[in-house]
Amino acid sequence: MGKVSSPSDFTNINVDYSAGNGHYTTHTDISNLLQISSFSGNTTPNLVEIGKLIKRAEEKIDDSIKTSYRPIIYKDEFHSFDNLRQRAYPLRPYKDYVGFVQLSYPKVQKLVRLEVYQGDVWLDLASATATLTVPNSATTNDWTITLTVGNPTTYTFEIKNLANNSIRHFYDNFGPKTTASQIVDAINEVFPMKTAKFTKETARKEIFANGTSQADNIRVSDFFYATLDSEDKTKIVISSLLDGEDGTFCTLTSTYGSVSSFADNQNSGRDDDYWTINDEGKIFFRQEYPHNQHHSIRVTYVAGEGRVPAPIHEAATKLVAAEIIRHDDNSILIAETGSNIDLKAKHDILLEEANKILNGKKNIIHFIS
């Protein structure tokens, strides 16, 4: 049983960290708490710097309470099935599954991939996916990979390698596997950690929807998730992040390489291959075990609470406010009057109150023998 909502929930969620707005708090709430003028592009710290502080505070909160109120992708979580477990879950008239896996994180929002090893291939039972196999040699002309969303098309994302243009989302001159890795990082909009030492890139990749401004903040990573195929590192597997099999309305085209269109993998439901209890992070296999082999289930999923409770908003706001006070050495932003609480005391109070909130929200596991 989960709480759907509360009148106290933080609902002013318009995430754009560069504008000082996060999942758990905003720059306005922070300046209001500190009772100072609003932050802007010209203040110290400015909105971009406030956004960085918010991101750090949100990650600290997630690490502290071991759960998240943001949608987070968890990649390649392995689970095992073996013959001994079949005895533990016999079929009975009142039991409509032969086995289940318990994911590491509850509050599952979306099964991006539920891959079952069949002895020679991984079979995906979730979402909708497409593939792109890159060519073996570098191209000499411009290369554009296009992903579209919706039917009719709502958004178009173009991932480009334009040799004679400043737009270069990926490099293809270091070999097909490196090219594939570059394209994966572009679709996921992450820093190309594995390949940056070759390409000399210094920032995360960013791809916004075609025909929209960067201010609209409509990103390719909001709609798609990509990985390299575990058996063929020149093949890119692209999954839709839309609910269920709605990704079949998406399209993939590429100037070069071999493309397979988005296909529906999903067969979930109480009477289908598997069913889930998303709040608990459980996946039940109804009729058949996966291939009887250790590490034969591989799951990629989005998890996170669907609401931001007021205490989490309060903790995030106070953590960022305390950080601002700690760095306000010259007392330019936050003045001391001499008659009120000094800056150090304000910092310590905010930090103490935030940590008390987080201690009360930590997950507790009870072991019953």
Q: pLDDT digit string (tens) for 175-215?
A: 999 999 999 999 999 999 999 999 999 999 999 998 777 77
Cis peptide before 45 (omega within 30 of 0): yes
Question: Can you give the pLDDT at residue 334?
Answer: 53
Among 90-94, 252-256, 363-367, top mean pLDDT goes to 252-256
Question: Can you give the pLDDT at residue 331?
Answer: 46
Q: Which residues of 39-61 are buried (b: 16+ CB within 10 A; e: fewer)?
A: beeebebebebbbbbbeebbebb
pLDDT at 163 over 70: no
Q: How many angstroms separate the Cα of 334 from the Cα of each of 8, 22, 115, 181, 306?
A: 29, 23, 54, 46, 35
pLDDT per residue over 242-268, tens digit each?
A: 998 999 999 999 999 999 999 999 888
Residue 108 near residue 344 (C-beta atoms within 8 A) = no
Give residue 82's pLDDT band: very low, low, confident or very high (50, 70, 90): low
Q: Give the chain's end-to-end CA distance (angstroms, integer).
A: 24
Question: Can you give the pLDDT at residue 96?
Answer: 72
Question: Average pLDDT, stretch 306-315?
Answer: 94
Q: How many angstroms separate the Cα of 310 from the Cα of each of 28, 69, 300, 304, 332?
A: 16, 11, 29, 16, 30
Share of the chain above pLDDT 90, in %: 61
Q: Which residues of 325-363 are buried (b: 16+ CB within 10 A; e: fewer)?
A: beebeeeebeeeeeeeeeeeebbeebbeebbebbeebee
pLDDT at 84 over 50: yes
pTM confidence score = 0.86
pLDDT at 233 over 60: yes
Question: Can you give the pLDDT at residue 368?
Answer: 41
Mean pLDDT, rounded, of the chain: 87
pLDDT at 217 over 90: no
Question: Average pLDDT, stretch 95-111?
Answer: 87
Give residue 330's pLDDT band: very low, low, confident or very high (50, 70, 90): very low
Question: Can you give the pLDDT at residue 288?
Answer: 73
CA dist 127 and 241 (Å) reads 8
- E strand or H helix at 196: helix 196-199
Which structural domains are found in the chain, ordered by start?
Answer: 17-69+307-361 (no CATH), 127-264 (2.60.40)
Question: Can you give the pLDDT at residue 140?
Answer: 76
pLDDT per residue over 20-61, tens digit each?
A: 999 999 999 999 999 999 999 999 899 999 999 999 999 999
